Structure 1
Amino acid sequence: MAATVFYLDEIPEPGGVAVLDGPEGRHAATVRRIRVGEPITLSDGAGLLAESEVVATAKDRLDLKVLNRVVAEPVTPPVTVVQALPKSDRSELAVELMTEAGADVIVPWQAARCVANWERKADKGVDKWRAAARAAARQSRRPYIPDVTDLYRTTDVADLIRTTVVEGGIAAALHESGAARFTELSVATATGVVLIVGPEGGLDDSEIAAFTEAGAQAVLLGPTVLRTSTAAAVALGALGALTSRW
């Protein structure tokens, strides 16, 4: 794979010329100053990868000759991170870290103890998270851009847990009171994994009750208390070592 990955919705067949314009093309041509002859990996963000070579440049676009195309197999089991909204200065950092660590779906969650409140600006917050996920996916050269959902409430998270468990997956609420250790999760045969990360103030008792009633397990991730913005990335790293994801 070339050292640079950019996303393009429609990638031509080998031999065709792809036009990278818009924000991606502007970043490539103006910020990265990519020149004719340089190799570029294109991706549609949904698994398709194409090796290409720059054949022309302009102020805000690149023309690239597509050399080959392959489809990257998704890693398994797929992991959904339910992330309680961090404080504004660490919000996008959380998304960047969990994207680099391999999250497949990211769910922003308005937990009871969140300092941040998206009730009147959910669309704006989701848009920022989607942009952060896209940029982090490019940086880490991921063929799949994580799907960032709309804002969830606690009842929505409980419904997600029930669906996941019914379909053969597992859900884990990362909590310092967890009776089980993260390494004891039965992930080998899980069809999917949901990781629930609470806010800085921790999960509310009613949230823990709702999630465990829906089928989640409260687990202890490690011996130290992590910031909400870093916990998901640490859990994803541990999960990668416990499964075939790594």
Structure 2
Amino acid sequence: MANLYLNEALTETRSGEFIELSGPEAKHVTTVSRAKVGDDLLIGNGRGLFAWGVIDTIEGGRVSVRVSAVREDEQATPGLVLVQALAKGDRDEMAIQAATELGVSRIIPWAAARSVSRWEGQKKEKGRSRWETIVREASKQSIRSFVPPVEPIVSTSELATLASTSRVLLLEPTATDKLSELSLADGDTGSDILLVVGPEGGISPAEIETLTAAGARAVRLGDTVLRTSSAGPAALAVLNVALGRW
């Protein structure tokens, strides 16, 4: 399968038309992939559009591709949203990378009570930008037609507001209900499912009380405790099977 390159400015195209890559994407084509005129290329816009084509010219830091086939995908419903608590080291980054590869539709950073890492002041936008880069690269690696957006960081109170209007599942090892036994037919089957993953120390009792009072439901994956880097991806795998996507 060809590597995926992104041109977010691309809105539509047809077979026989030309589209271009420039900047870092064009540089990657020529210096990393070492592609040449006549080679096949796959280009997406990160919003559902895929265009297959053949490199026509490479010059002036630009790669021109003649389109041979086009496909437009629809977003899968319900969307699977990862609410990932900030974690120390790179564990939160490992989580969002794997979640992207597993088909998450949106990612929401969460400033949990027990989060050691903090995004404050300028770190809010810097941290979000870092996550966006990770998600973008993971989307290219996994040949995804949609690049999931990374939304602004939320507090617990803001997350509680989401829980009052959305299907929110708290991944909590002490919960009685198993995620694998949950009926996804309950409630609005078209609304997104938000998976909430706590930091290394877990979701605090006060946060569990606040979120469940707002409508969230606590569920567990099994009898063991997973790291914050693996809990979200494991839950996404369970839901992908339950929804018939795998």
CA distance in 1, matches of 2:78, 2:217: 17
Match of residue 138 from structure 1? 140
Match of residue 240 from structure 1? 240
Deviates more, 1:191-200 or 1:32-41: 32-41
User: Which residue type is aligned with residue 242 of structure 1?
Assistant: A
Match of residue 181 from structure 1? 178
TM-score (norm 2): 0.93
CA distance in 2, matches of 1:222, 1:84: 20
CA distance in 2, matches of 1:92, 1:34: 30
Q: Number of residue pairs matched? A: 240
CA distance in 2, matches of 1:85, 1:23: 29
CA distance in 2, matches of 1:146, 1:125: 16
User: Which residue type is aligned with residue 145 of structure 1?
Assistant: V
Asked if structure 1 preserves the Cα contact closer than 8 Å seen for 2:172 and 2:220, the reply is: yes
Q: 2:151 aligns with which of 149, 152, 168?
A: 149
User: Which residue type is aligned with residue 6 of structure 2?
Assistant: Y
CA distance in 2, matches of 1:137, 1:20: 17
Deviates more, 1:52-61 or 1:12-21: 52-61
Match of residue 61 from structure 1? 62
Say whether 1:6 aligns with 2:8.
Answer: no
User: Which residue type is aligned with residue 145 of structure 2?
Assistant: P
Match of residue 208 from structure 2? 208
CA distance in 2, matches of 1:197, 1:126: 17
**1:28 shift after superposition:** 1.9
1:122-158 alpha-carbon deviations (Å, 9 max, x no partner)? 1000001001000000000000001110111111111
Match of residue 92 from structure 2? 91
Asked if structure 2 preserves the Cα contact closer than 8 Å seen for 1:36 and 1:56, the reply is: yes
SS at 1:42 equivalent: strand
Matches within 5 A, 1:35-184: 35-58=36-59, 60-120=61-121, 121-164=123-166, 170-184=167-181
SS at 1:95 equivalent: helix
**1:59 shift after superposition:** 6.9
Percent identity between matched residues is: 38
CA distance in 1, matches of 2:228, 2:130: 18
**1:32 shift after superposition:** 1.7
1:209-230 alpha-carbon deviations (Å, 9 max, x no partner)? 1110111111111221111011
Deviates more, 1:232-241 or 1:82-91: 82-91
Asked if structure 2 preserves the Cα contact closer than 8 Å seen for 1:27 and 1:60, the reply is: no
**1:86 shift after superposition:** 1.7
Match of residue 31 from structure 1? 32
Asked if structure 1 preserves the Cα contact closer than 8 Å seen for 2:86 and 2:109, the reply is: yes
User: Which residue type is aligned with residue 82 of structure 1?
Assistant: V
CA distance in 1, matches of 2:119, 2:143: 30
Asked if structure 1 preserves the Cα contact closer than 8 Å seen for 2:92 and 2:228, the reply is: no
Give 5+ residue unaligned stretches, structure 2: none
SS at 1:88 equivalent: coil
Asked if structure 2 preserves the Cα contact closer than 8 Å seen for 1:28 and 1:61, the reply is: no
TM-score (norm 1): 0.93
CA distance in 1, matches of 2:51, 2:173: 44
Asked if structure 1 preserves the Cα contact closer than 8 Å seen for 2:55 and 2:63, the reply is: yes
SS at 2:90 equivalent: helix
User: Which residue type is aligned with residue 6 of structure 1?
Assistant: Y
1:66-125 alpha-carbon deviations (Å, 9 max, x no partner)? 112221132222111100012133232221111001110000011000010111301000
